[in-house]
Amino acid sequence: MGTPITTTGQLGPVLQRLRRNHGLSQAALGQKLGLSQERISRIERSPEKVTLDQLMTVLMALNAELQVAPREAGSQSATGPKAAPGKRSGEDW
């Protein structure tokens, strides 16, 4: 079963767990992808700074996939995410 991710802070530990479940060190995953160990570390620490294409490449290497589904009723407002302070909804998000 998958792990629901609702914030970027939850993604890094999931990527790390997937990598470890495959018995890969950061260096080994990096070698598989043509990246340095340091880059894999940065991806796991700050996944919000990774492009969707880069994330998909990492997920493919870990035999994982991205799924998007509606939230369960009551888990958050049905109107969507709230605008960041000082910004109107839909502006530069």
Which pLDDT value is given to residue 75?
62
Would 82 be classed as within a structural domain?
no
Is there a domain that residue 67 lies in? no
The sign of the torsion formed by the CA atoms of 64, 65, 68, 69 equals negative
In a domain, 29, yes or no: yes
Enclosing domain of residue 32: 8-61
What six digits make up the tokens of 80? 């969507």
Which range, 35-39, 76-80, 83-87, has the best average confidence (pLDDT)? 35-39
Whether the Cβ atoms of residue 79 and residue 71 lie closer than 8 Å to each other: no
Alpha-carbon distance of 48 to 50, in angstroms, equals 6
What pTM was computed for the model? 0.74
DSSP 72: P
pLDDT over 90, % of the chain: 67
Reported as half-sphere exposure (CB side, CA atoms, 13 A), residue 5 has a value of 16
- Count of domains observed in the chain: 1
Could you tell me if residue 79 is inside a domain?
A: no
CATH number where 57 lies = 1.10.260.40
